[in-house]
Amino acid sequence: MLIRNAKDCEGGVFDIWLRDGKIAAIGCDLPQPEGEEILDAKGLTVLPAFIDTHCHWRTPGYEYKEDIATGSAAAAAGGYTFVNLMPNTKPVCSDAETVYAVQNKAKEIGLCDCNQTVSITKNFDGVTIDHLAMLPDDIKFITEDGNGVMNNAVMARVFAFASGANLTVMSHAEDREISPWDYRLAENIETVRNCHLAEYYDTRLHMCHVSTKEAIEAIAASRAKGARITCEVTPHHLWFDDSKLQYKVNPPIRKADDVAALVRAIRAGVVTCIGTDHAPHSAEDKAKGAAGMVGLETSFAVCYTKLCRMEGLPLEHLSYLMSAGPAAVMQLDDHKGLLRPGYDADLVLVDIDHLYTVHADKLHSKSKNCPYDGQSFYGRVMLTIKGGKITYRNSDGE
């Protein structure tokens, strides 16, 4: 496929030639390869396809909320070609067999690849870590997701083991003994603890959905000392503050000064990437108090509108946060996350001048728990390409 008349982040027009699943060439007025498809981008902006460091597809065990097919379709519609899945499934993903089953099913569907993470403690029991020594070398990411590891000694042992085993610890920072009465303190205390453990053991640590100004300051301080710490922020923690939305997510929607601190941290390069924390729930579960919201299909538009249109962040920086940054976290940066010859032909075409309205009932996700319903944003995903093949084309006319 030869893509003509594409725009880069600064508005320059160029062509991209895709061949055998890779980017073959980038330039102006590239010669037309004989017999290959021509795709006229018509001035749409072309970016590296997005990579999500934090996602839930609910397989196995909770397929009534989402399954790999609907999660893949939602990802493709949001411009994603790779997502990182959390282990809070039923049963909990604590073994390689479950990892491979999920990843192979995603490959079979073919719309979006995934990495399935493994629980830090077996079945989230908070204590047992023997299963980590049984993991094969190609499994690189462990997380306790929404549970957190409460016991300091257990977590110290985990960091020590992970350092020697080349594992990345992904942390949902929450002291659950404190969160019922002070969720800010719960996040901040575990953030400081885990940052210190990463410094002490020289362990790769990724902090998920950072939401408070104190937490992002602690991460910045540890990074300044050379700690191997990356972090993500979610679109909803950037867009909403607690004066604008009362909607149950975990961690909660924070105050306006927390949002401002996250934006400052993005400008300063402390924030590595955007993680959606795509968390589908049925209407019944949401009504019963389940925390979370879907986010794959709205992520780019929300972040582009907030960060680029409202805060003046260069589109190139947002592209880094959604592509090259998460590729580095997921150790994919030798072949994903950039528009560069030899890299995977994973691209997304976006209309950055198009104002569209989110309609929850039109989302590809099985779940519709979307607080953006009825809100309008700039930055419509128009086409997603994975491995040189179109996986999503916007056709609703909006």
- Please enumerate in sequence order all residues whose Cβ is within 8 A of that of 393, keeping only pairs 6 or more positions apart, or say none: 382, 383
Residue 321 has what DSSP assignment?
I
Residue 274 sits at φ, ψ, to 5 deg, of -95, 130
| DSSP bridge partners of 26 | 16
Q: Are strands 168-171 and 141-143 parallel, antiparallel or unpaired?
A: parallel
Number of Cβ within 10 Å of residue 236's Cβ equals 23
Strand ranges for the chain from DSSP E? 2-7, 13-19, 22-27, 38-40, 45-48, 50-55, 80-85, 113-116, 141-143, 168-171, 204-207, 229-233, 273-274, 347-357, 376-386, 389-393
What are 47's two structure tokens?
């970016």
Residue 13 sits at φ, ψ, to 5 deg, of -95, 135
- Closest by CA to 271, choosing from 312, 322, 226, is 322
Catalytic residues: 277
| DSSP bridge partners of 386 | 389
* Residues 7, 42 contacting (CB under 8 angstroms): no
Q: Are strands 347-357 and 376-386 parallel, antiparallel or unpaired?
A: antiparallel
- Closest by CA to 165, choosing from 196, 195, 137, is 137
Q: Is 209 helix (H, G, I), strand (E, B) or coil?
A: coil
* Residues 277, 54 contacting (CB under 8 angstroms): yes
Q: Please say whether the dihedral angle defined by the alpha carbons of residues 259, 250, 57 and 170, taken in this order, is positive or negative.
A: positive
